[in-house]
Structure 1
Amino acid sequence: MTVIIRGGTVVNADRAFRADVLCYGDKIVAVGENLDAPAHATVIDARGQYVMPGGIDTHTHMQLPFMGTVTADDFYTGTAAGLAGGTTTIMDFVIPDPKQSLLEAYHTWRGWARKAAGDYTFHVAVTWWDESVHREMGTLVREHGVNSFKHFMAYKNAIMADDETLVKSFSRALELGAIPTVHAENGELVFQLQRALLEKGIRGPAAHPLSRPPEVEAEAANRAITIAGVLGTPVYIVHVSCAEALDAITRARAGGQRVYGEALAGHLVIDDSVYRSDDLEFARAHVMSPPFRGRHHQDALWHGLQAGNLHTTATDHCTFCAEQKAMGKDDFTRIPNGCGGVEERMAVVWDAGVNSGRLTPSEFVRVTSTNAAQIFNMYPRKGLVAVGADADIVVWDPQGSRTISAKTQYSKGGFNVFEGRTVKGIPTHTLASGKLVFDKGQLCAEEGAGRYIDRPPFATTAA
């Protein structure tokens, strides 16, 4: 398929310029003014619009078995929803059970993901430790294109990694040229706070943020950063939600440590008042970890993005329907944790970031695509509109608008945490691997069209 995008302003992380973009097959083959194109080429008129790299969501959970149920979105519905919002690549998570082989879990997730409509790649969680985990981390890096490993410091008695596991896994990642990523919450503190709240009879969703205050996140972030600093490994902190955790990242970076931070679109615009709603179904729908915070934390996160101490925006897309959330109607600790957002992230970050003056269009590209591609070694294949890059492109109308609603979303789950928010700045066209998959409101996603993206390691110390 040949596609020519004419008359738009190409926006990359470093600059913006007027140019046509010619795509042949799954690659960009020319970028320049007044390009020639074959007569049979599909023409997209991008006059008055921006032409940007497709979004990369660094944090999703499709078809995830979690807390006694499975997420509503599978790899087809979730990636298709992403394409409608301008996200062309997701980074999902392989999460082995304790004592389960990492390779066994990896192959299970690869099988589930064959139906993906957009490109995908995996972080693999280290949930336990012995010599087999050490060995299989090497196999995943060398043979399967995995260069990041996830560590949950939360979820005691389930998938929580203790300090021994963190030290050994971080060290192994450094040997292999991979980067550790961390869910930073002190799992023991969360567990004890949950027990104390239940003993007091506080059982509804309003208890959820009380059991996970900012200090719980800050302690774990500090601990992970300290361990990484001693070992000399980089570290990536997922879903930073509070000023205190951001402060830990900022201090470490100021001292020369290689620490990266991720912000979720929801944490940037939604505050903790949602948990105090009289509508308990509404409140349960917002239960995720870390929870939504007070408004001053949102301001801090925006400052982190502006200052370059937070580097990526993601969603932690993990959708559940009302019936699934109601599993915790009598006990907030049993509410499946997770919210959606893969479809809305780009528009929410543009509207709240670019339209407010917090971000420039190039900074928007940086935090929605390019930084992710660089941190996880997919650049310049991803995160760039240039000759030789994948033809993953979003044509963006800065004057277009829509009102977000669960009634019109492509994502499953029946609820939208951005419900009723009108955003200005939306995609008109999305190209994935050179195919037009979203065209002026019409989703043309194809099940199974997504590709697995190998991510080679960085420089290693291993023999």
Structure 2
Amino acid sequence: MESLLITNGKIVNSDSVNFMASDLFIENGIICEVGANAKNLATAQTQIIDARNMYLFPGGVDVHTHLDLPIKDFTASDSFESGTLAALHGGTTTLIDFANQTKGETAISAFEHWMKLAKNNCHIDYAFHVSLTQIDSSTEEEIIHLMKEGVTSFKTFMAYDNMRLTLEEFSTLFALSAKLGFLITLHAEVGETINENIKQLIKGQMSGPQFHHLSRPIAAEVTAIEKAINLSHKYQVPCYIVHLSSQEGLAKIAAAKKLGIPLLAETCPQYLLLDNSHYSKQTFDEAAKYILSPPLRSPADCVGLWQGLEEGTISTVATDHCPFWLKDKRRGINNFTQIPNGIPGVENRMELLFSEGVIKRNMPLSRFVQLTSSNPAKIFGLYPKKGLIARGADADLVIFDPEKKHTITYKNLHSLCDYSPYEGVNVTGKCHTIVAQGQLAVVQGQCRIQKGRGRYLPRTAGVFAI
């Protein structure tokens, strides 16, 4: 039996107040003991790690990634192999990706296809949301089948002609959510507004990447959120807004929550740390690096979203890791609508939030754990096996050095993407050792495990009062 003893680490959970040095005993991938008795369980074969002066965080849970994703003629630069390796190096030990249904395809077929892509290729544990692009007479039966397979969340779109649902389809789906108990997640942008803006911009010969963010205004996000609020209120079911980008959208969600409407919100490091000045870069490449949807907003929106984290309106920080090589971005050099949307970031989420949140903005350590691990685990039905350091939980841990300073550069990252949107950013705090399934997975930057160790995680219904 494999065992590991971690000594003298400061354990941080979502409800922690004091961070006294403590010990932790792990056996066969499970946390068996926390506290003074942990050392008594060790044997001569037990590996011992001294975590003195370091924090012990639950392994990160990133609930928004796009690996092996095809868009038009492109495929995301990270596969399940490379993307999960990058996630692991950044302290994320569980991710939830998307099984994307195409028009005319069954949701079950989509799930089976993406399961095959991930099987035997992941370094960390994984699960799937299923993205629904059509609602018809077979949808209820398919959702029931998928829920038995452990899929308890379904993504929807109000944007993209080949993906968005009609209002009638949304109503049907929200009614099914009330009946069956699954969670609806939403890409909140109104496609009709975006299409009209693109038409006018291209007509006016405004086709460079600097015009991308003008095609997808905050109003498109706010209107979509308002529609989600109305649906959640009517059917009394939660809706989880992915990649929230604006303070106006945040205000709508905060007001709805005060009225008891069960809305949940996620944001991403890019919307906290980057702004739309990047679209005014001198070269096409430098601007195209930041083409994503929703687009980057104003510095004021960044400030507003930090307040949303502090006040609790935003429940999670995910990455929307959706990387494309620069050569693929250049396909849109004459028309920004042809640039594949998305940026990398799965490896930097935890260190960025620690450095910018905990160090610079005095975010409580317990709040850091809530946003990066425990809340996503709770909302998406993985808690308490994930997102918690306690007896009986999975032994997924990050031994984190809070004083280690370094500068982000894509050349030191494990994503296959050939740039980082955070290039040159100085951060304080870095993962020292990462434990996954009870094994020393990464030690001081060196990976010790192979692909294929990641397990598919069937999920239960989540906890939405967060």
Q: Bin the TM-score by the shorter chain.
A: over 0.9
2:138 corresponding residue in structure 1: 132
Unaligned runs of 5+ in 2: none
2:12 corresponding residue in structure 1: 11
1:113 corresponding residue in structure 2: 118
- Rounded Cα–Cα distance in structure 2 between residues aligned with 1:350 and 1:311: 16
Q: Specify which of 150, 154, 158 is matched with residue 153 of structure 1.
A: 158
- Rounded Cα–Cα distance in structure 1 between residues aligned with 2:175 and 2:461: 15
Give yes or no for the alignment of 1:22 onto 2:25: yes
Question: SS at the partner of 2:360?
Answer: coil
Deviation at 1:359, TM superposition (A): 1.0
Q: Specify which of 32, 35, 41 is matched with residue 35 of structure 2.
A: 32
1:219 corresponding residue in structure 2: 223
Deviation at 1:362, TM superposition (A): 0.8
Q: Which moved more, 1:105-114 or 1:352-361?
A: 352-361
Give yes or no for the alignment of 1:436 onto 2:437: no
CA contact (8 A) 1:179 1:235 kept: yes
Deviation at 1:39, TM superposition (A): 1.6
Give yes or no for the alignment of 1:388 onto 2:389: no
Aligned positions of 1:147-186 closer than 5 A: 147-156=152-161, 158-186=162-190
Give yes or no for the alignment of 1:456 onto 2:457: no
- Rounded Cα–Cα distance in structure 1 between residues aligned with 2:457 and 2:200: 44
Aligned positions of 1:232-311 closer than 5 A: 232-311=236-315
Question: SS at the partner of 2:441?
Answer: strand
Aligned positions of 1:181-220 closer than 5 A: 181-220=185-224
1:418 corresponding residue in structure 2: 422
Q: Which moved more, 1:322-331 or 1:169-178?
A: 169-178
Question: SS at the partner of 1:72?
Answer: coil
Q: Deviations over 1:325-347 (max 9, x none)?
A: 11111111111000011100000
- Rounded Cα–Cα distance in structure 2 between residues aligned with 1:270 and 1:358: 20
Amino acid at match of 2:269: A
- Rounded Cα–Cα distance in structure 2 between residues aligned with 1:358 and 1:257: 30
TM-score by length of 2: 0.96
Closer/same/farther in 2, CA of residues 234 and 413 from structure 1, 3 Å limit: same
Deviation at 1:250, TM superposition (A): 0.1
Which 4+ runs in 1 deviate beyond 3 A?
none
Give yes or no for the alignment of 1:42 onto 2:43: no
TM-score by length of 1: 0.97
Q: Specify which of 75, 78, 83 is matched with residue 88 of structure 2.
A: 83
1:330 corresponding residue in structure 2: 334
- Rounded Cα–Cα distance in structure 1 between residues aligned with 2:207 and 2:448: 44
Deviation at 1:32, TM superposition (A): 0.4
Deviation at 1:173, TM superposition (A): 2.0
Deviation at 1:458, TM superposition (A): 5.6
- Rounded Cα–Cα distance in structure 2 between residues aligned with 1:136 and 1:327: 37
Q: Which moved more, 1:229-238 or 1:438-447?
A: 438-447
Q: Deviations over 1:127-155 (max 9, x none)?
A: 011111221011101x2101101001111
Give the number of equivalent residue pairs.
457
- Rounded Cα–Cα distance in structure 1 between residues aligned with 2:461 and 2:403: 40
2:370 corresponding residue in structure 1: 366
Deviation at 1:230, TM superposition (A): 0.6
Amino acid at match of 1:29: C
1:73 corresponding residue in structure 2: 78
